Structure 1
Amino acid sequence: AGFARSTAGEYAGNIFWVVGFALIVSWIVAVVFTPYLGVTMLPAIKLVEGGHHAIYDTPNYRRLRRLITVAVRHKFVTCGIVGIALALSGIGMGALKQQFFPTSDRPEVLVEVRLPEGTSIETTTATVKKLERWLHDQPEAKIVTSYIGQGAPRFFFAMAPELPDPAFAKIVVLTPDAEAREALKHRLREAVAKGLATEASVRVTQLVFGPYSPFPVEFRVLGPDPAQVSAISEKALDIMRRVPDVRQANRDWGSRTPVLRFIPDQDRLNLIGLSPAEVSQQLQFLLTGVTVTNVREDIRNVAVVARSAGDERLDPARLADFSLMSREGRQIPLSQIGHSEVRLEYPVMKRRDRTPVITIRSDINEATQPPEVSKQIMKALQPLIASLPAGYHIEMGGSIEEATKANTALGKVFPAMIAAMLIVIMLQVRSFSTMAMVMLTAPLGLVGVVPMLLAFNQPFGFNAILGLIGLAGILMRNTLILTEQIRENQAAGLDRYHAVIEATVQRARPVILTALAAVLAFIPLTHSVFWGSMAYTLIGGTAVGTVLILLFLPALYAAWFRIKPTAEVIPEVSTEEPELRVAMAAE
């Protein structure tokens, strides 16, 4: 994620750098500072009489040794069971809820008020005041802040202010906590459904973590002809509304609105001596105003706009009463140089890659996830998509598109990441076969991740993917620890069969304690909205993966290097390796 070129990489990339620096510093501490503390603070460790047998011949170690021996003697059965468990976990991934990023746990309630395009800001203000009066009567609303004619400032990273629009307003309501936020949010939705501010489209939502997407579910309809695109989008919108988990489906073009257009008579303009540009400039002066100069106020330039006074300029029926000035200074009634007509037009026409595009979008049932609802809608849209004429198509947008972009960006980094991992592992084990075996243990965490996420009803999102990647590194580290101990045991005089079993016995306690410390450290994160899925991923994968490493790796090692069982008597460790005995005693 630290090198992924995507909005999700920008959002979550700091995880990589924080964890990376933490691991590097912890390694330096473990190699330099921890041994110093051990020498200065711990008492002198006496050698244990009997060496290896005395240290690892306790009842618990004997039970562990018998279990590992059974796994190694039946190595192909053990590998087969783990392979089946891994395959079932892969199938179980399909049952997990898919998610990009979770909703935020911040206490703000966001209210978007949208009136038909062209609505005056005075009408928008009246609607907002009506909502504000209702909100001020609610006990959960501590602070109510309204932004009329534009969106709120970017006070949260994962949001984008809306562009200026007199028909739009945004209300930010601060509540005491998440519980109060949910209560106010649902009560306001009920009030809107019962008739509060019927003249506007009122959307009640909250902040969402991750890259910004205006709506969780979006589909784009593209094609060369705007009228045909509009007709297709109407059909698609009807289909979307019939999906059970869809709420407040709409489209970004809105409805067609009446537009008053003045059509000048070119012949009469020529007789009078006015050009169309002059007529346009004078009408602009009368209706909206013309900037005549700028006044500097502190560090800002303020435009001075001149226009006609009175509210009659806003009345379309009074347009024919306007008078223009000829070049000689004579007043000319507007009705003498042309006529006006009313047309129904789309107030906003959007394009994507210079192609007309209409986005149909919606909120969803909060008990579901955007990818799940998007797939339902896409399935329902298939008959319509199959019947589209050439040049027209429907594509998926929203959070699922952002998730696809993020995963694609991660996929581009994966080859370099895997290559770096292979190089590091090869430098340590110096064997292609051992390196391949270490890589095979990377996905074992899935056996614990999938049941854990299903048991606690957690979605599998971008953070869970990052946790799964980190989990693979944890399991491969444990594999490297065991393989290195096997090599040391062989160098100390043990045959290959007992070297595998005894290495697992010797390293079981530090591996288990390390995994247990990691699991306990992740438990507080399970209560976090943002980190919860990652914490559950690491807890389940670390716990189950560690157990599988202690049983599966010895069996895999024996099968990989064709190690056959020998006598049960463990050979004495050579007395020519006193360092090994001291290390064993220290453990």
Structure 2
Amino acid sequence: LVFGPYSPWPVAFRVMGPSLEKDRAIATQVQATMLANPHTRQVNQDWGERAPTAHFVLDQARLQLIGLSSHEAAEQIQFLLTGAPVTQVREDIRTAEVIARSAGTDRLDPSKLNDMTLMNHWGKAVPLSQIGHIEIRTEEPILKRRDRVPTITVESDIDESLQPPQVSAEIEKAIQPIIASLHESYKIETGGNIEESEKANKALSVVFPAMIVLMLTVIIFQVRSFSAMFMVVLTAPLGLAGVVPTLLLFHQPFGFNAILGLIALAGILMRNTLILIGQIKTNQEEGLDSYHAVVEATIQRSRPVVLTALAAVLAFIPLTFSVFWGSMAFTLIGGTAVGTVLTLLFLPAIYSIWFGVKPTAVPSDETQAVLVSP
């Protein structure tokens, strides 16, 4: 797991197509739509703005006259501008390469590029202006490809009071006319937090079947009854009654981390259910009838279960300040608090309904004394 947000830009849309010019035009339309949304911040394109670049156009006829090939001339120009390692300097255990290139005043000043000199095979210096010229063109500073297709990502931050899925849905609806007008070789994909969350959820869903089978196996070995196992599983979703309002109240996303918290929460609630069912069986083995076994088990186990839940809730509070683990902490806090209370109410009721437990009268102490007296 990466300790940080899913993506540096919560909202992102990828424009993909074979033509760079067309991709840039479509991305500009998408960017304008995102700028029109009041909830976006710092809308940009990952290719950046076009930048001027210098291109050396060599005259092949003149190169032949001075005895140089295009490859040799390009190597010398690269040596002058970029440099090449000529030796190494060693200091203690570190080794550094020495790069040779032209002086900074010559290679960094565009007006002096034509004055650079190349050497031919006879050792004669030839100014670059005699074998070609420089053209200034505007080009993309960065070219990115996805599946070998040129791809521009239009991305933005969002208002802190909103969640990425909400803003992405608004923008996706607004760019539908753009998508409808695209040629079949061009497309717009949704990226950002939504895509990263889907990837994580898909990876988690692979182990879900094995996890469920293992969980049911452990439960059936403990309760040794399919009816009791079914009741244990029924208490797992009770935590949602606390998770949903907690996430809404604190504006937390229901993403990958919240799902992890929900899985852990289901285990916590089912553990409490197993404790209660175990206590009911213990009371029945000690001679109590089913009704009073259920009542006494709920009373006996309510205090330790509530105190354990309270300790867990307090322990999760520091995690609520984490950018990465915050949603999971809020999920566990709300779900544990509400789910524990509901379990203490729900399980005795469903147990009594499932097994047909009816209230029975217990003789008072005075009645018992009369019954046993001669």
Q: TM-score range by the shorter chain?
A: 0.7 to 0.9
- 1:512 and 2:292 correspond: no
For 2:14, what is the secondary structure of its paired residue? strand
Distance apart, 1:425 and its partner CA: 0.6
Aligned residue for 2:216? 422
Q: Which amino acid aligns with 1:569?
A: A
How do 1:9-48 residues align onto structure 2 when only pairs under 5 Å count?
11=2
Aligned residue for 1:569? 361
Match of 1:304 among 83, 93, 98: 98
How do 1:35-434 residues align onto structure 2 when only pairs under 5 Å count?
158=3, 209-210=4-5, 213-309=7-103, 311-434=105-228
Alpha carbons 1:525, 1:532 under 8 Å: kept: yes
Stretch deviating more after TM superposition (235-244 or 252-261):
252-261
Aligned residue for 1:443? 237
Question: How far apart, in 1, do the equivalents of 2:82 and 2:217 lie?
Answer: 68
Alpha carbons 2:10, 2:193 under 8 Å: kept: yes
What is the root-mean-square deviation in Å for CA atoms of aligned residues?
A: 2.8
Matched-pair identity in %: 64
Segments of 5+ residues of structure 1 without an aligned counterpart are 1-7, 12-157, 159-208, 573-587
Distance apart, 1:528 and its partner CA: 6.1
Match of 2:277 among 483, 487, 493: 483
Alpha carbons 2:5, 2:323 under 8 Å: kept: no
Give the 3 Å change call, closer, same or farther, for CA 439–257 of structure 1 in structure 2.
Answer: same
Alpha carbons 1:239, 1:380 under 8 Å: kept: yes
Alpha carbons 2:352, 2:358 under 8 Å: kept: no
Give the 3 Å change call, closer, same or farther, for CA 422–363 of structure 1 in structure 2.
Answer: same
Alpha carbons 2:239, 2:334 under 8 Å: kept: yes
Give the 3 Å change call, closer, same or farther, for CA 510–303 of structure 1 in structure 2.
Answer: closer
Give the 3 Å change call, closer, same or farther, for CA 450–274 of structure 1 in structure 2.
Answer: same
Question: How far apart, in 2, do the equivalents of 1:363 and 1:284 lie?
Answer: 40
Give the 3 Å change call, closer, same or farther, for CA 396–298 of structure 1 in structure 2.
Answer: farther
Stretch deviating more after TM superposition (509-518 or 545-554):
509-518
Alpha carbons 1:448, 1:540 under 8 Å: kept: yes
Give the 3 Å change call, closer, same or farther, for CA 451–364 of structure 1 in structure 2.
Answer: closer
Q: Which amino acid aligns with 1:433?
A: S
Give the 3 Å change call, closer, same or farther, for CA 331–531 of structure 1 in structure 2.
Answer: closer
- Deviations for 1:395-419, whole angstroms, at most 9, x for unmatched residues? 2223332222222222223222222
Stretch deviating more after TM superposition (387-396 or 523-532):
523-532
Distance apart, 1:569 and its partner CA: 0.5
- Deviations for 1:318-339, whole angstroms, at most 9, x for unmatched residues? 3333333221233334333233
Give the 3 Å change call, closer, same or farther, for CA 302–529 of structure 1 in structure 2.
Answer: closer
- Deviations for 1:470-514, whole angstroms, at most 9, x for unmatched residues? 221121112112222332333344444444344334433333343
For 2:182, what is the secondary structure of its paired residue? coil
- 1:540 and 2:348 correspond: no
- Deviations for 1:302-351, whole angstroms, at most 9, x for unmatched residues? 22233333624433333333333221233334333233322221122111
Question: How far apart, in 1, do the equivalents of 2:104 and 2:258 lie?
Answer: 61
Alpha carbons 2:51, 2:141 under 8 Å: kept: yes
Distance apart, 1:442 and its partner CA: 0.4
Question: How far apart, in 2, do the equivalents of 1:476 and 1:252 lie?
Answer: 47
Distance apart, 1:275 and its partner CA: 0.8
Alpha carbons 2:162, 2:251 under 8 Å: kept: no
Distance apart, 1:355 and its partner CA: 1.7
For 1:308, what is the secondary structure of its paired residue? coil
Give the 3 Å change call, closer, same or farther, for CA 234–492 of structure 1 in structure 2.
Answer: same
- Deviations for 1:266-322, whole angstroms, at most 9, x for unmatched residues? 233223321111111222233333332222233333222333336244333333333
Distance apart, 1:462 and its partner CA: 4.2
Give the 3 Å change call, closer, same or farther, for CA 424–270 of structure 1 in structure 2.
Answer: same
Aligned residue for 1:558? 352
Give the 3 Å change call, closer, same or farther, for CA 480–298 of structure 1 in structure 2.
Answer: same
Question: How far apart, in 2, do the equivalents of 1:289 and 1:524 lie?
Answer: 53
Distance apart, 1:259 and its partner CA: 1.8
Give the 3 Å change call, closer, same or farther, for CA 571–298 of structure 1 in structure 2.
Answer: farther
Give the 3 Å change call, closer, same or farther, for CA 310–401 of structure 1 in structure 2.
Answer: closer
Distance apart, 1:449 and its partner CA: 2.2
Alpha carbons 1:497, 1:564 under 8 Å: kept: yes
Question: How far apart, in 1, do the equivalents of 2:317 and 2:86 lie?
Answer: 65
Question: How far apart, in 1, do the equivalents of 2:229 and 2:77 lie?
Answer: 78
Give the 3 Å change call, closer, same or farther, for CA 513–287 of structure 1 in structure 2.
Answer: closer
Normalising by structure 2, what TM-score? 0.86
Question: How far apart, in 2, do the equivalents of 1:349 and 1:437 lie?
Answer: 57
Q: Which amino acid aligns with 2:216?
A: L
Alpha carbons 1:464, 1:533 under 8 Å: kept: yes
Alpha carbons 2:161, 2:251 under 8 Å: kept: no
Q: Which amino acid aligns with 1:314?
A: L
Distance apart, 1:261 and its partner CA: 1.2
Distance apart, 1:521 and its partner CA: 4.4
- Deviations for 1:445-482, whole angstroms, at most 9, x for unmatched residues? 11122233334555445443333222211211121122
- Deviations for 1:336-380, whole angstroms, at most 9, x for unmatched residues? 323332222112211122221112112222333333323322222
Question: How far apart, in 1, do the equivalents of 2:66 and 2:238 lie?
Answer: 87
For 2:43, what is the secondary structure of its paired residue? strand
Alpha carbons 2:47, 2:152 under 8 Å: kept: yes
Segments of 5+ residues of structure 2 without an aligned counterpart are 365-374
Question: How far apart, in 1, do the equivalents of 2:137 and 2:277 lie?
Answer: 79
For 2:118, what is the secondary structure of its paired residue? strand
Give the 3 Å change call, closer, same or farther, for CA 246–312 of structure 1 in structure 2.
Answer: same
Alpha carbons 1:494, 1:571 under 8 Å: kept: no
Distance apart, 1:251 and its partner CA: 0.8
